[in-house]
Amino acid sequence: MLKKIRIGLAVLRTALTGEKRPLSVTFSVTDRCNLACAYCSFPERGSKELSTEQILALIREMAAAGTKRIGFVGGEPLLRNDIGALIAAARTAGMFVSLTTNGTLLRRRRNDLKNADMILVSLDGPQEVHDLTGKAAVNVLLADIAVLRQNNVAVCTSTVLTAPTIEHLDSLFKISADVRLPLAFQPYSYEYYLSVAKTKEGSLAPSPEMFKSAIKKIIQKKQDGALVANSYLYLDQIKEGVNARAQACLAGKRYCFVDTNGDVYPCSPVTGRLRAPNACALGFKEAFRQMPALSCKDGCLFPCYLEYNFLFSLSPRSIINVLKTIGIR
């Protein structure tokens, strides 16, 4: 509770002063992955990873710069043998710590996750949908999630809205209800939904009409009491497609993305598209200060970033939604 109060006060102070401060950092610690999901290209990049010492130093620098939340992502972060130490260091620094994983290594690495506040686990639907990406057996995954929750670690899904997932939404909501597991949905492909793309992007891509119908169904399920982690603000904004220009983007002002090699970007969608300063070369605080400004023209459908915009703008509905989600054990 004390940590939440400190985070809340930091968000409030930053919103009132308007200062540029990295309250939230999403940190890619590896490009490696033990899967090859059709909707993810990170493993193809093969970026050089930072050492344990480099990341620990950056965590200390982030804390000094005012970071209150850090999210470890990849690739598959649990492939790093030092991930437990990284989580513990961030926790000791007073940060809210989350980690996004495909779920295949939860059982093997569960002791490394005991200091995390929130784990986001890939769950695409019932077993027949999970089989499309070679992920863990759903029953094994749910059993591993139960162990994490027994250790007081909150768990939420990271569910990509592919066509097969949309076709099995009812089954997914049943799984969620049976084990009280919050579902967090995100679009299948950033480029597919951001642009005026009219064509499908592979066999997993839903049509725009299918996507819109799914969002409306998710909204109705949430209204009926289903455990949907996405806020109404986010769902309402994307239900008719891209409409993100109405919401001021705080990427690079309140949050940022640190790439696998230490480059600092306002957000992950612009990775490689801007000339980014490197946190190891300049120090994190200076890299954040020098980070180039965004000039997005096409809106944004990334759930984490839109939710951050709502949260750091002190939207009461967003704040209540976040507190409800992280409070489910």
Distance CA 272, CA 46 (A): 13
Confidence (pLDDT) at 236: 87
Residues 264, 192: Cα–Cα separation, whole Å? 25
Question: Given strand 69-73, what is the order of strands in its sheet?
Answer: 185-187, 154-161, 118-122, 96-101, 69-73, 24-28, 255-258, 264-265
User: Could you tell me the pTM of the whole model?
Assistant: 0.91
Write out pLDDT tens, residues 165-186: 999 999 999 999 999 999 999 8
pLDDT in tens, 249-304: 889 999 999 999 999 999 988 888 889 999 999 999 999 999 987 766 656 667 77
Predicted local confidence at residue 25, as pLDDT: 98
User: In this structure, are residues 299 and 322 in contact, taking their beta carbons and an 8 Å threshold?
Assistant: no
Query: 2-17+24-326 — its CATH code?
Result: 3.20.20.70
Is residue 30 a contact partner of residue 50, using CB atoms and an 8 Å limit? no
Q: Domain extents for the chain? A: 2-17+24-326
Greatest distance between any 2 Cα atoms in the chain: 50
Query: With 50 as the cut, is the pLDDT of residue 199 above it?
Result: no
CB contact at 8 A, 159 and 186: yes
Model pLDDT for residues 67-101, shown as the tens digit of each residue: 999 999 999 999 999 999 999 999 999 999 999 99
